[in-house]
Amino acid sequence: MKIAIITGGGRGIGAAISRRLGADGYRILMTYNNDSQSAETIVSELRKDGVDCVAVKVDCGNTDEVFILADHPWMQDGVDTLILNHGMYERNSAKDLSLQELERTMSVNFRGSVAVYTALSRHLNDDATIIAIGSQLGIKGSPHGADYAASKGALHAWARSLAINLANSGQRVNVIAPGSIDTDIIGKDTPSKRKERENQIPMGRVGKPEEIASVVSFLCSDDSSYITGAVLHVNGGLFLP
């Protein structure tokens, strides 16, 4: 049975990915940092559905913890799919951003992803799929999330570079850049802010975590066997002219 590692797999988009890949027949190893309750809820749910699933506490901004993950017993069976989904988001404009704030966000969102890949790379199977969950903000920037946008932009560039390095190996690397998705990040919107956000999207609504998970499922399948180095925009047409 195939094994999928999903960082940040207990909440939001990560939880939807865990459910979808579990339904696709994968064994699921998800990481979480602070919210153990949400992670264990997803584990219990998946186990009731017959999915072999475990949750492991890992701060992806802590290199020592990341490399401990590589010693998990499941790694010995070989990893088929690595989903780099963890992240943090702080509201910091570029003009007010401190170096300390930038360092923390980059250490989690960007360097943490590189560390996870580096730690687990020796356990990835020859035809493994690697998917980084980026962001539309990593492409267009943000007036109030400069460090987040920078970290995701760096993640996109690194993942595409890795795709070039691995193109002849059989391993594929792709990025999904979600737009506004109905998760905790926008869950605190007032009704007027929510309406304003929806009015900016050509499809007139925010996305669902399950819609990101469906794209992940496609990229993990043989149907996407000729796709690597891509950044897939899943944003309801937000970048349409």
For the segment 53-65, what is each residue's pLDDT rounded down to a tens digit? Answer: 999 999 999 999 9
| Dihedral pair phi/psi, residue 174, rounded to 5° | -140, 165
Q: Which domains does the chain have, with CATH numbers?
A: 3-234 (3.40.50.720)
**Token pair belonging to 16:** 């939807």
Helix (H, G, I), strand (E, B) or coil at 11: coil
Checking if the pLDDT of 98 tops 90, the result is: no
pLDDT above 80: residue 240? no
Reported pTM = 0.95
Q: What is the pLDDT of residue 144?
A: 82
106 pLDDT more than 70: yes
Quick: pLDDT tens for 204-228: 999 999 999 999 999 999 999 999 9
Between the CA atoms of 56, 60, 63 and 66, what dihedral angle is there, to the nearest 10 degrees? 30
Q: What is the pLDDT of residue 192?
A: 84
Helix, strand, coil tally for the chain in percent (to 5)? 50, 20, 35
Q: Is 26 a catalytic residue?
A: no
Q: What are phi and psi of 206, to 5 degrees?
A: -80, 160
Residue pLDDT, tens place only, 148-206: 999 999 999 999 999 999 999 999 999 999 999 988 777 777 888 888 888 999 999 99
Strand, helix or coil for residue 38:
helix
Q: Which of 26, 32, 117, 148 is catalytic?
A: 148
Residue type, 14: G
